[in-house]
Chain A
């Protein structure tokens, strides 16, 4: 391979113009021109290499033409690969700045992951809590709920008179009204211990609120004497193993005919499903009373009109749509008790901590690369271009952190699925977290951007 570098391989002492050099240059130019004509315009780019090399005293070449042809062929291959389009350079610069310092990158990513996981868990808990406090309302077969006036949530049982049910049935557009009774009771375990339970009673054949997600036995068997359904996650608490086992409530037998999965109470008190009359007996509820009445409408009935007419006929009771009852329960538990504020507070703290960590690492990264940003400015870069580099760094940090945090979040979701308060991740939450992470990182970049836009490009001359 012939040498053609201008640096250590050249022998020029700055003198030009002798006949030998002129002949060599002419020979080189002819060779390159011939090669260019034969192989395409890319070869033109290498003519200056040849002429400059020749002018500076290239030695060792038997034939200038052959040397240039060989060098040009190799160079063309390199140029060909150089032509291949890559990612935008601003993105390349940002990613290399980011990935260049692994320690800082790890710190940044840990900050983001910590922050996003904290936010994920808090909001996931919020969603899980929200779902849990309305799960009974969600699974009831009711278009309208008749509830005692002032009811704040589903587990806030007062009693309605049975006559309210008949008044509701007299309203046009009402297809059925099912009674529901609920309340706390004491479950006596087969081994002699006891634990509080929340009894939910409705007629399994008359519509209302039957257990769902039945994994053993049949919900229809709740019509049998002393039949109850429990969730498998409470089996140990209740001292039972499955269908066929029995405990006692209020000194009355409670035989398990169905086992469900995932019907958990956020209060950790187990739900026990029973038929309406059986539940009334377990709770000691008078026979002419019920906690709620679940109204189903006839096809085509106007829900607002029916609701208004039922409400007119009732005293000391309210008529709510499912959505309104859900919202009332949710508001009570999330905001009436302060639980929601605590969860939101935790999420906010996560955002603040994450923003501070990312801002700090981005700022110090920018300080480390300040000479490069000054060079960018010196070569004429606009502020916008520099901001673009920093924002790309922030965005890349966000994406890496978000990906890891989401994976960790999914692990938390899996680990808490059967817990008293599962963490829930919905597609909307994931999308929201992505937007939040990006916004957090963009805000974090502000300090770094402020530092960079103040750079005096003339500082590069002093370095």
Chain B
């Protein structure tokens, strides 16, 4: 059993004010451990994205505690939360959110740049991260020159390049066709082989189920079910996790 990388304890989140007040999360507890891909599934408005935002340090809970690698988000201001995200979290968004004016390489390198890593080695790491998702031939391509699947792979490379403790993916396959969706989940599943890293995927897409080590279902702001995923039952060959091989110095 690996140590938890993200812990959410008794999280409550109220959105809006006055008559428009809505309880988006009602006492949710969720722990993500390294080496596992967790699917968070539920209907629209069930609180999936709110939970992902809170676990990723984008929002703070109204009540409850969130710890990222042991660091709490409670009472943290916007700058402190940004620093936590910088250190521990990699995001993959449904709409990719790549910078249209930057190349694939620059989009990935940007994560390192905001961390103050501005050496040639950082550029090399960004290129290596793109290599892990099979885009070595697209380093100099702009997002408009890439297919949806390729853009999402760039987004994954961007998420992993900083070696975060957790990758949070919000509907990563929603904008992709079947083949590309499978490819994206394959890469995320590879990332989740690293015992130091957790992957949480918020999704509606049932085709993602075969890649899950664990499936958590949420409804009306509460976790209603939690079960092992198919991948846990039929684990793959004992090869090294994908990100450990990214590093140029890796043996």
Interface, chain A (partner B; CB < 8 A): 4-8, 10, 12-14, 16-17, 21-22, 25, 41-42, 44-49, 51-53, 55-56, 71, 74-75, 78-79, 81-83, 85, 88-90, 92-93, 96-97, 100, 371-372, 375-383, 385, 456-458, 460-463
Name 15 A/B residue pairs within 8 A (Cβ), A-sorted.
A7-B183, A10-B179, A16-B237, A44-B250, A48-B245, A51-B239, A52-B132, A81-B139, A85-B123, A93-B110, A380-B115, A382-B82, A382-B114, A383-B79, A383-B82
**Chain A facing B: main interface SS:** helix
Task: Please indicate the chain B residues that have their CB under 8 angstroms from the CB of A88 in the complex.
Answer: 113, 118
A83–B124 contact, CB under 8 A? yes
Picked from A13, A55, A85, A375, the residue with its CB within 8 Å of the CB of B182 is A13
Picked from A17, A49, A92, A93, the residue with its CB within 8 Å of the CB of B132 is A49
Task: Please indicate the chain B residues that have their CB under 8 angstroms from the CB of A10 in the complex.
Answer: 179, 183, 186
**Known contacts A90-B113, A379-B114, A385-B114; A82/B101 CB under 8 A:** no
A461–B123 contact, CB under 8 A? no
Task: Please indicate the chain B residues that have their CB under 8 angstroms from the CB of A12 in the complex.
Answer: 182-183, 186
A372–B99 contact, CB under 8 A? yes
Picked from B91, B126, B134, B170, the residue with its CB within 8 Å of the CB of A53 is B134
Picked from A41, A78, A81, A461, the residue with its CB within 8 Å of the CB of B52 is A461
Picked from B79, B91, B131, B147, the residue with its CB within 8 Å of the CB of A45 is B131
Scan residues 126-156 of chain B and give those whose CB is less than 8 A from a CB of chain A.
126-128, 131-134, 136-137, 139-140, 147, 149-150, 153
B118–A78 contact, CB under 8 A? no
Task: Count residues of chain B with CB under 8 A from any CB of chain A.
Answer: 76
Alpha-carbon distance A378/B136, docked complex (angstroms): 26
B131–A46 contact, CB under 8 A? yes
**Known contacts A89-B109, A381-B82; A45/B59 CB under 8 A:** no
Asked if B180 CB lies within 8 Å of chain A CBs, one says yes
Task: Please indicate the chain A residues that have their CB under 8 angstroms from the CB of B115 in the complex.
Answer: 380
Task: Please indicate the chain B residues that have their CB under 8 angstroms from the CB of A6 in the complex.
Answer: 133-134, 153, 183, 186-187
User: Chain A nearest CB: distance from B38 CB in Å?
Assistant: 17
Greatest chain A CB density within 10 A among B52, B94, B109, B237 is at B237
Residue of A with least CB distance to B242: A48
Task: Please indicate the chain B residues that have their CB under 8 angstroms from the CB of A45 in the complex.
Answer: 124, 127-128, 131, 246, 248
A460–B97 contact, CB under 8 A? yes
User: Chain A nearest CB: distance from B176 CB in Å?
Assistant: 9
Asked if B9 CB lies within 8 Å of chain A CBs, one says no
A7–B149 contact, CB under 8 A? yes
Task: Please indicate the chain A residues that have their CB under 8 angstroms from the CB of B111 in the complex.
Answer: 379-380
Interface, chain B (partner A; CB < 8 A): 49, 52-53, 58-59, 78-79, 82-87, 89-91, 93-95, 97, 99-102, 105-106, 109-111, 113-115, 118, 120, 123-124, 126-128, 131-134, 136-137, 139-140, 147, 149-150, 153, 158, 170, 179-180, 182-183, 185-187, 189-190, 210-211, 234, 236-237, 239, 242, 245-251
Q: 4 nearest interchain CB pairs?
A: A380-B86, A96-B101, A16-B236, A380-B85
User: Chain A nearest CB: distance from B37 CB in Å?
Assistant: 12
Task: Please indicate the chain A residues that have their CB under 8 angstroms from the CB of B139 in the complex.
Answer: 78-79, 81-82
**Chain B facing A: main interface SS:** helix
**Known contacts A6-B186, A82-B105, A83-B120; A461/B132 CB under 8 A:** no
Picked from A8, A48, A383, the residue with its CB within 8 Å of the CB of B180 is A8
Task: Please indicate the chain A residues that have their CB under 8 angstroms from the CB of B99 in the complex.
Answer: 93, 372, 375
A75–B136 contact, CB under 8 A? yes
Task: Please indicate the chain B residues that have their CB under 8 angstroms from the CB of A376 in the complex.
Answer: 110, 114
B124–A82 contact, CB under 8 A? yes
Picked from B89, B110, B158, the residue with its CB within 8 Å of the CB of A89 is B110
A78–B106 contact, CB under 8 A? no
Picked from B110, B127, B150, the residue with its CB within 8 Å of the CB of A7 is B150
Task: Please indicate the chain A residues that have their CB under 8 angstroms from the CB of B149 in the complex.
Answer: 7-8
Task: Please indicate the chain B residues that have their CB under 8 angstroms from the CB of A55 in the complex.
Answer: 236-237, 239
User: Chain B nearest CB: distance from A266 CB in Å?
Assistant: 51
Task: Please indicate the chain A residues that have their CB under 8 angstroms from the CB of B245 in the complex.
Answer: 44, 47-48, 51
Alpha-carbon distance A383/B83, docked complex (angstroms): 10
Residue of B with least CB distance to A1: B137
Task: Please indicate the chain A residues that have their CB under 8 angstroms from the CB of B242 in the complex.
Answer: 48, 52
Residue of B with least CB distance to A459: B58
Picked from A81, A100, A371, A378, the residue with its CB within 8 Å of the CB of B91 is A378
Alpha-carbon distance A88/B123, docked complex (angstroms): 11
B79–A460 contact, CB under 8 A? no
Residue of B with least CB distance to A384: B79
**Known contacts A74-B137, A78-B136, A82-B127; A52/B190 CB under 8 A:** yes
A93–B91 contact, CB under 8 A? no
Task: Please indicate the chain A residues that have their CB under 8 angstroms from the CB of B109 in the complex.
Answer: 89
A96–B131 contact, CB under 8 A? no
Task: Please indicate the chain A residues that have their CB under 8 angstroms from the CB of B147 in the complex.
Answer: 7-8
Task: Please indicate the chain A residues that have their CB under 8 angstroms from the CB of B158 in the complex.
Answer: 379
Contacts A49-B136, A52-B186 known; 15 new A-B pairs at CB < 8 A: A6-B187, A7-B147, A7-B179, A48-B132, A79-B124, A79-B128, A81-B140, A100-B101, A375-B99, A376-B114, A380-B111, A383-B78, A385-B113, A461-B93, A463-B97
Alpha-carbon distance A56/B78, docked complex (angstroms): 41
B137–A56 contact, CB under 8 A? no
Task: Please indicate the chain B residues that have their CB under 8 angstroms from the CB of A463 in the complex.
Answer: 93, 95, 97
B127–A79 contact, CB under 8 A? yes
Picked from A16, A22, A74, A380, the residue with its CB within 8 Å of the CB of B87 is A380
Task: Please indicate the chain A residues that have their CB under 8 angstroms from the CB of B134 in the complex.
Answer: 4-7, 49, 52-53
User: Chain A nearest CB: distance from B147 CB in Å?
Assistant: 7
Task: Please indicate the chain A residues that have their CB under 8 angstroms from the CB of B97 in the complex.
Answer: 371-372, 375, 378, 460, 463
Greatest chain B CB density within 10 A among A44, A85, A380, A457 is at A380
Alpha-carbon distance A6/B138, docked complex (angstroms): 13
User: Chain B nearest CB: distance from A420 CB in Å?
Assistant: 50
